Amino acid sequence: MDNLQAIESRYFFRRVFNIINSIERQMFILALFAFFITPADTHAQDEHDEPLDSHRHVLSANPFGLVLLPWYNGEYERRMKPSLSLGISASQWTDNFVATTLAFRYYPSQKVFQGIYVGPRIGIFRTTPPQPPNLTANSDTPLRELTDVQLGLGFEFGYAWLIGSEQNLSISIGSGATRLLGGESTAFPVLRFINLGWAF
């Protein structure tokens, strides 16, 4: 039992360390560049096109996944242009699936955060298969070796609303697909089922 607890402890700290591994550091640098450099260049030219109280940020999450399923997610979306936004999100499905993604969304209506949107996604996906029944305290296979970290590319398509007297309440739905690269290439559908958030 002590050996199993030691293996699980090493696995936990390994997962924490994986958050700052080289691939995710590159993702983090990309996010910083996109959020703090690119929007700064576009902000000045948009000031004359949009009213001063125009929303530039949305924070959202899926409350149904939190309540009904062991699925947790959160997302931050930032306005770059009247028709373009950039979002970063994180999600977890039990202990077997963790993802961090970066998404560009194009709004043909020229009203960011509202109407139809479409765009590409790129992310880091960490998958861990369920513990095999024959993995015991005396097993020579550390749990961390079962964890796989892969880069994923995909797209999404959806619809978003801003409602309320000041259009602060954000509601969005969507779907898409992602393909994992490296190792065993896997494609899977992505469902964005009613994210609720706050625009400011």
The pLDDT of residue 189: 87
Domain total in the chain = 1
The pLDDT of residue 166: 93
Q: Output the domain CATH number for residue 6.
A: 2.40.160.20
The pLDDT of residue 45: 47
* CA–CA gap between residue 87 and residue 104 (Å, rounded): 6
* CA–CA gap between residue 161 and residue 190 (Å, rounded): 20
pTM of the model: 0.70
The pLDDT of residue 52: 42
User: Which domain range does residue 143 map to?
Assistant: 2-199
Q: What is the pLDDT along the chain (200 residues), one digit of tens a residue?
A: 555 555 555 554 455 445 445 445 545 555 555 555 455 444 444 444 555 448 999 999 988 877 777 778 899 999 999 999 999 999 887 777 899 999 999 999 999 999 999 999 999 998 777 665 555 545 555 555 567 888 999 999 999 999 999 999 999 999 999 999 976 778 888 888 889 999 99
Beta strands in the chain (DSSP E): 57-61, 71-81, 84-93, 97-106, 115-127, 148-163, 169-181, 186-199
> What number of other Cβ atoms are within 10 A of residue 54's Cβ?
16
Is residue 81 within 8 A of residue 56, CB to CB? The reply is no
C-alpha closest to that of 154 among 130, 127, 119: 119
